[in-house]
């Protein structure tokens, strides 16, 4: 399921390293929003803005802080695609599955990416380098299928070229 | 008042009424599925579609208000076809097999399909992945059977204020369940089973332990004792086609005997015992507060409902000192049976198996709590719900309707009082406690008509009463002139309301009764489905009838309980009682 929180060891260490300062800033936000109706979505947005993603400890804190059931908090996070429960990798890879891209092989490109990265949509590679997401139209339908890596739009992507494309980013990171 | 015509019947209907309610007033029935009277109207399932003359689209009658001059057709060809399509679509994504489903015969989807004459499913869509969750002691969830009606979500959130369940994910991937589709034991759930009581299909049910009971009954080495809670006798009949509110105590006893239980005992005995302990505990708290001027936790809250206990442990640990330390009657019974009764028949605790029949799923969780081993082994071995007892009896081939009446056994079954009967319904534990406490303090019977405390009876969510103590026996002179204030709540969201009133200082009470299930145990999560308020009332009436029939109606008059104290326990709150009949609680995390 795409919304499932992974609680493998790596994530737990990441969660424990959330610094106390961030947590106290989060508590301030919670204090401010506690009595406001409709607070859940704005608070989640602020928290994701602060931390980059929404780890379990943070979601539980929000649940208690706003007096909202944890199941509801999780339901809202899973419902909106802009919330993520996984830390983002260095590079965000987004595959367009709009009609044009889909018809012209977007799905195959996505499968190739999943294979190459060894992760599912919404996940991040264990080395923290790539996150994979599905996107809406990038405005380049004429040259479908397209993917976006960070701010680069790549067009007429073929599944067989995926490794080569990713290698460029891998090499660059090594060079830095 | 708007005039509305429904299927050619014209009626005056108050403004704001929905078409569904209007139809019911006009005597027209419209099938529904997600609608849950008094709890949820959300228009999710579209089973209740009707046609409004002049309107382009069919509308969901449960969420559409009537307007003046509206002409509604609930049975046109268009409506029938649409309704059929809706149900076919639900069936096409329903990963269930009626041949082996425990809901077969009481499933609302199955009966809709039957009523609509569905013989073929034209839509063969993709099916959801089915995940079965066996992680909790009380409940089994099967997401494959879930039709996303959200009744359980509304009950768990609005009625119980727990919020263990909510729709997760989106679109076709939507699953109703705990946060991030975790298993139920990883989240806060009080095991009340109200979700299973309202689920229209077999997607949430009690964990079935019928085979475990057959296992001990078939084993000649085992000495198997059964106890039945008061709420069973007013509901078991429904499993065999009797109208709600039929008392079947005698037939139930006969059936249990035929099934091969070695002793048929009564949880009511332990309910009387609970009153002795809990009433005394209240009086001791009051004495400490008023005479010894000690800090004591007041109000005292009742402790017979394990779902309520778990709720406080999670959400209000600051109130744990206020909860009576008394075990529930089920657990008192287990501890007494495996000690006092075991001695009488020359057996060791481990030689006896205690089976409970409860209206309750939470009791399946309670009997496994680590505190519940005071006889040296697990005090209550297996807990069956009313529904499971119904199945056990059917499986044995017994024809329940043909059974003669029988009576329970001595010493833990023959004698019970009316006070123990009323434990089954909301307000009953309070009434039973006051019947005894008032008499201990004043030497006179509780000054209410028929011993019923009218203001705390009935189905209002939060009820209050006051009892003025005008004269006392010498020992309790300090209570003279005092007014005892009590409150009763059922449904945990109502309990939360009472807690808020207490914590804000708005209300002061001495004693508060809480039962997690709406209506109390007669509306328990393990009772025959489906329970409406009308059925709750009928079961409660039956319980009051049982109470009024008894010669003894106050717990302290139960001669077997008196004997138990004389021969074994000593006195209420004494050392042995403390060890066997009382327990302790732990704070738990909130998420
Ligand atoms: S058992 Fe009670 S608390 Fe648990 S999910 Fe069901 S309704 Fe909610
Ligand atoms: S589990 Fe049952 S009550 Fe809950 S949404 Fe599914 S079908 Fe409805
Ligand atoms: S009210 Fe009764 S049936 Fe319901 S959870 Fe409590 S003890 Fe069980
Ligand atoms: S009963 Fe009206 S939409 Fe479900």
Q: Residue B11, Cβ neighbours under 10 Å: how many?
A: 17
The residues, ordered by sequence, that sit 6+ positions from A90 with a Cβ below 8 Å of its Cβ are: A128, A129, A130, A173
For the packed helices B249-259 and B386-396, what is the interaxial angle rounded to 10 degrees? 60
SS3 A148: strand
Residue numbers in A near B163 (CB within 8 A): 68-72
**Catalytic entry in B371, B464, B548, B560:** B371
pLDDT the model gives residue A5: 40
Q: Residue B388, Cβ neighbours under 10 Å: how many?
A: 24
Q: Residue A171, Cβ neighbours under 10 Å: how many?
A: 9
Domain end (from B15, B47, B75): B75
The b/e string for B248-261 (b: 16+ C-beta within 10 A; e otherwise) is: bbebbbbbbbebbb
Region for residue A83 given its phi and psi (left: phi exceeds 0; alpha: psi -120 to 50; beta: otherwise): beta
Ligand 3, pocket-test mutation among B195, B362, B383, most atoms within 8 A of CB: B362
Ligand nearest to the CA of B46: 4
The residues, ordered by sequence, that sit 6+ positions from B233 with a Cβ below 8 Å of its Cβ are: B247, B248, B249, B252, B542, B546
Taking a C-beta distance cutoff of 8 angstroms, is the pair B555, B196 a contact?
A: no
| One pLDDT digit (tens) per residue for chain B, 591 residues | 889 999 999 999 998 899 999 999 999 999 999 999 889 999 999 999 999 999 999 999 999 999 999 999 999 999 999 999 999 999 998 988 899 999 999 999 999 999 999 998 887 777 777 899 999 999 999 999 999 999 999 999 999 999 999 999 988 889 999 999 999 999 999 999 999 999 999 999 999 999 999 999 999 999 999 999 999 999 999 999 999 999 999 999 999 999 999 999 999 999 999 999 999 999 999 999 999 999 999 999 999 999 999 999 999 999 999 999 999 999 999 999 999 999 999 999 999 999 999 999 999 999 999 999 999 999 999 999 999 999 999 999 999 999 999 999 999 998 899 999 999 999 999 999 999 999 999 999 999 999 999 999 999 999 999 999 999 999 999 999 999 999 999 999 999 999 999 999 999 999 999 999 999 999 999 999 999 999 999 999 999 999 999 999 999 999 999 999 999 999 999 999 999 999 999 999 999
Whether the pLDDT of residue A11 is over 70: the answer is: no
SS3 A165: helix
Query: How many residue pairs from chains A and B have C-beta atoms closer than 8 A?
Result: 60
- Give the distance from CA A95 to its chain's centroid: 13
Residue numbers in B near A85 (CB within 8 A): 180
* CATH value at residue B374: 3.40.50.1780
Taking a C-beta distance cutoff of 8 angstroms, is the pair B362, B191 a contact?
A: yes
Say yes or no: B133 and B245 in one domain: no
Ligand 1 pocket at CB < 6 A:
B 139, 155-156, 160, 162, 164-165, 189-195
Q: What is the dihedral of CA B86, B91, B93, B94, to 10 degrees?
A: 140
> How many whole angstroms separate alpha carbon A127 and alpha carbon A89?
8
A78 touches B at CB < 8 Å: yes
Q: Catalytic residue at B281?
A: yes
Q: Which residue has the higher pLDDT, B274 or A142?
A: B274
Query: Binning pLDDT at 50, 70 and 90, where does residue A100 land?
Result: confident
Say yes or no: B374 and B253 in one domain: yes
* CATH value at residue B46: 3.10.20.740
| 26-65 of A, contacting B, C-beta below 8 A | 59-60, 63-64
Geometric angle at alpha carbon B93, from B87 and B99, rounded to 5°: 85
CA of residue B395 to ligand 2 center, whole Å: 27
Whether the pLDDT of residue A3 is over 60: the answer is: no
Written as six digits, the tokens of B83 are 């309704």
Can you give the residue range of the structural domain that contains B15? Answer: 3-75
Residue to mutate among A3, A69, A73, with most B CBs inside 10 A, is A69
Residue nearest to atom 8 of ligand 1 (CA): B156
Residue nearest to atom 4 of ligand 1 (CA): B189
H or E stretch covering A175: helix A162-175
Residue B587 lies in a domain: no
pLDDT the model gives residue A17: 66
Q: Residue B433, Cβ neighbours under 10 Å: how many?
A: 26
Q: What is the dihedral of CA B547, B457, B363, B566, to 10 degrees?
A: -50
**How is B425-459 classified by DSSP, letter by letter?**
STTHHHHHHHHHHHHHHHSS--SSGGG--GGG-SS
> How many whole angstroms separate alpha carbon A90 and alpha carbon A130?
6
Q: Do the chains contact at B163 and A68, CB–CB below 8 Å?
A: yes
Say yes or no: B188 and B246 in one domain: no
Taking a C-beta distance cutoff of 8 angstroms, is the pair B433, B421 a contact?
A: no
Which residue of chain A comes nearest to B158, CA vs CA? Answer: A69
Residue B86 lies in a domain: no
B198 touches A at CB < 8 Å: no
Task: Say which DSSP state B569 is in.
Answer: I
Ligand 3 pocket at CB < 6 A:
B 192, 305, 307, 359-360, 362-363, 515-517, 520-521, 524-525
Of A1, A70, A71, the CB nearest to B173: A1
* ipTM attached to this prediction: 0.91
Residue numbers in B near A63 (CB within 8 A): 591
Residue numbers in A near B590 (CB within 8 A): 64
Residue B243 lies in a domain: yes
Q: How many domains does chain B have?
A: 4
Q: Catalytic residue at B371?
A: yes
Count CA atoms closer than 13 A to B519's CA, side-chain side.
23
Of B170, B173, B178, the CB nearest to A71: B178
Residue B52 lies in a domain: yes
Say yes or no: B168 and B263 in one domain: no
**Catalytic entry in B45, B101, B192, B521:** B521
Residue B201's nearest CA partner among B129, B137, B111, B130 is B111
> How many whole angstroms separate alpha carbon B180 and alpha carbon B177?
8
Taking a C-beta distance cutoff of 8 angstroms, is the pair B368, B330 a contact?
A: no
Written as six digits, the tokens of B206 are 């009690």
Say yes or no: B480 and B422 in one domain: yes
Burial class (CB in 10 A: 0-12, 13-18, 19+), B171: exposed
Residue to mutate among B156, B166, B182, with most A CBs inside 10 A, is B166
**Catalytic entry in B363, B364, B463, B554:** B363
H or E stretch covering B290: helix B267-290
Q: Do the chains contact at B162 and A68, CB–CB below 8 Å?
A: no
> How many whole angstroms separate alpha carbon A162 and alpha carbon A168?
10
Residue B253 lies in a domain: yes
Query: pTM here?
Result: 0.91
Residue B83 lies in a domain: no
Residue B264's nearest CA partner among B139, B164, B413, B364 is B413
Ligand nearest to the CA of B190: 1
Which residue of chain A comes nearest to B164, CA vs CA? Answer: A71
Residue B298's nearest CA partner among B328, B319, B270, B325 is B319
Q: Do the chains contact at A78 and B188, CB–CB below 8 Å?
A: no
Q: Do the chains contact at B179 and A4, CB–CB below 8 Å?
A: no
First-to-last alpha carbon distance for chain A, in angstroms, is: 36
Say yes or no: B466 and B553 in one domain: yes
Output the CA–CA distances (angstroms, integers) from residue B357 to A83, B168, B268, B388, B417, in the order listed: 47, 35, 12, 9, 19
> How many whole angstroms separate alpha carbon B365 and alpha carbon B34?
29
CA of residue A31 to ligand 1 center, whole Å: 29
Say yes or no: B141 and B199 in one domain: yes
List, for residues B67-103, the tens digit of each pLDDT value. 999 999 999 999 999 999 999 999 998 988 899 999 9
The Cα of B157 is separated from the nearest Cα of chain A by a number of Å equal to 8
Say yes or no: B347 and B473 in one domain: no
Say yes or no: B26 and B61 in one domain: yes
Residue B267's nearest CA partner among B275, B257, B279 is B275
**Catalytic entry in B268, B366, B546, B557:** B366
Ligand 4 pocket at CB < 6 A:
B 32-35, 43-48, 60, 62
Residue B408 lies in a domain: no
Say yes or no: B479 and B547 in one domain: yes
Q: Catalytic residue at B127?
A: no
Q: Do the chains contact at B166 and A68, CB–CB below 8 Å?
A: no
Say yes or no: B396 and B511 in one domain: no
The residues, ordered by sequence, that sit 6+ positions from B314 with a Cβ below 8 Å of its Cβ are: B188, B190, B588, B589, B590
Residue B390's nearest CA partner among B404, B381, B401, B379 is B401
Ligand nearest to the CA of B162: 1
Written as six digits, the tokens of B277 are 């302990």
A67 touches B at CB < 8 Å: no
Taking a C-beta distance cutoff of 8 angstroms, is the pair B529, B323 a contact?
A: no
Say yes or no: B66 and B198 in one domain: no
* CATH value at residue B185: 3.30.70.20
| 348-407 of B, contacting A, C-beta below 8 A | none
Residue B191's nearest CA partner among B421, B369, B430, B379 is B369
Of A1, A64, A71, the CB nearest to B179: A71
CA of residue B321 to ligand 1 center, whole Å: 24
Residue B586 lies in a domain: no
> How many whole angstroms separate alpha carbon B370 and alpha carbon B378?
9
CA of residue B306 to ligand 4 center, whole Å: 33
Lowest mean pLDDT of A6-15, A50-59, B328-337, B379-388, name the range: A6-15
**Catalytic entry in B61, B324, B375, B416:** B324
């Amino acid at each position: 399921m795409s919304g499932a929180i992974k609680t493998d060891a790596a994530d737990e260490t990441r969660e424990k390293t959330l610094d106390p300062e961030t947590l106290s800033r989060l508590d301030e936000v919670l204090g401010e929003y506690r009595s406001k109706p409709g607070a859940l979505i704005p608070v989640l947005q602020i928290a994701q803005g602060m931390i980059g993603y929404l780890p379990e400890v943070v979601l539980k804190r929000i649940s208690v802080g706003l007096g909202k059931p944890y199941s509801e908090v999780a339901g809202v996070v899973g419902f909106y695609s802009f919330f993520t429960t996984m830390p983002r990798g260095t590079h965000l890879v987004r595959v367009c599955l709009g009609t044009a891209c889909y018809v012209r092989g977007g799905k195959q490109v996505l499968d190739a990416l999943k294979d190459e990265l060894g992760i599912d949509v919404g996940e991040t590679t264990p080395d923290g380098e790539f996150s994979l997401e599905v996107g809406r139209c990038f405005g380049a339908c004429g040259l479908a299928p397209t993917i976006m890596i960070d701010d680069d739009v790549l067009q007429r992507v073929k599944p067989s070229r995926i490794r080569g494309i990713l290698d460029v980013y891998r090499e660059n990171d090594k060079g830095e | 008042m708007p005039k509305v015509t429904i299927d050619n019947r014209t009626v005056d209907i108050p403004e704001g009424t929905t078409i569904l309610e209007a139809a019911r007033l006009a005597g027209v029935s419209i099938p529904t599925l997600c609608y849950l009277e008094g709890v949820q109207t959300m228009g999710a399932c579209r089973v209740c579609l009707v046609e409004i003359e002049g309107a382009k689209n069919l509308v969901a009658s449960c969420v559409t208000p009537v307007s003046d001059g509206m002409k509604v057709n609930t049975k046109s060809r268009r409506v029938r076809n649409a309704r059929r399509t809706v149900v076919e679509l639900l069936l096409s994504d329903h990963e269930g097999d009626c041949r082996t489903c425990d809901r077969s015969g009481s499933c609302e989807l199955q009966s809709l399909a039957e009523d609509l004459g569905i013989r073929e499913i034209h839509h063969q869509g993709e099916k959801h992945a089915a995940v079965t969750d066996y992680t909790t002691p009380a409940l089994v969830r099967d997401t494959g059977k879930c039709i996303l009606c959200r009744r359980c979500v509304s009950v768990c959130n609005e009625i119980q204020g727990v919020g263990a369940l909510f729709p997760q994910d989106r679109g076709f991937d939507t699953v109703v369940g705990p946060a991030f589709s975790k298993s139920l034991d990883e989240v806060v759930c009080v095991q009340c089973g109200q979700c299973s009581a309202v689920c229209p299909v077999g997607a949430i049910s009690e964990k079935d332990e019928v085979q475990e009971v057959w296992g001990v009954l078939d084993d000649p080495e085992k000495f198997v004792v059964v106890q039945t809670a008061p709420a069973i006798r007013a509901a078991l009949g429904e499993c065999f086609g009797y109208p709600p509110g039929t008392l079947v105590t005698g037939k139930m006893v006969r059936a249990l005997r035929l099934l091969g239980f070695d002793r048929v005992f009564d949880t009511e005995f332990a309910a009387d015992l609970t009153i002795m302990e809990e009433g005394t505990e209240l009086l001791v708290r009051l004495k400490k507060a008023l005479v010894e001027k000690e800090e004591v936790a007041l109000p005292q809250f009742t402790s017979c409902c394990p779902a309520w206990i778990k709720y406080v442990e999670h959400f209000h640990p600051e109130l744990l000192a206020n909860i009576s330390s008394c075990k529930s009657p089920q657990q008192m019974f287990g501890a007494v049976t495996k000690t006092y009764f075991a001695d009488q028949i020359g057996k060791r605790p481990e030689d006896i198996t205690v089976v409970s029949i409860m209206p309750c799923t939470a009791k399946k969780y309670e009997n496994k709590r680590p505190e519940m081993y005071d006889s040296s082994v697990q005090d209550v071995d297996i807990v069956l719900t009313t529904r499971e007892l119904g199945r056990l009896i059917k499986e044995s081939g017994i024809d329940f309707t043909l059974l003669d009446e029988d009576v329970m056994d001595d010493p833990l079954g023959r004698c019970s009082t009316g006070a123990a009967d009323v434990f089954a319904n909301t307000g009953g534990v309070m009434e039973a406690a006051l019947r005894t406490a008032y008499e201990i303090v004043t030497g006179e019977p509780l000054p209410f008509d028929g011993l019923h405390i009218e203001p705390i009876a009935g189905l209002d969510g939060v009820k209050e009463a006051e009892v003025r103590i005008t004269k006392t026996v010498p020992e309790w002179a300090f209570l003279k002139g005092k007014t005892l204030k009590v409150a009763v709540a059922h449904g945990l969201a109502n309990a939360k309301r009472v807690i808020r009133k207490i914590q804000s200082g708005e209300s002061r009470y001495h004693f508060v009764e809480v039962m997690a299930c709406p209506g109390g145990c007669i509306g328990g999560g393990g009772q025959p489905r489906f329970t409406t308020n009308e059925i709750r009332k009928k079961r409660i009436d039956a319980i009051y009838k049982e109470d009024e029939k008894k010669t003894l109606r106050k717990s302290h008059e139960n001669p077997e309980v008196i004997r138990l104290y004389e021969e074994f326990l000593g006195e209420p709150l004494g050392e042995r009682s403390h060890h066997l009949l009382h327990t302790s609680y732990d704070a738990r995390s909130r998420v």
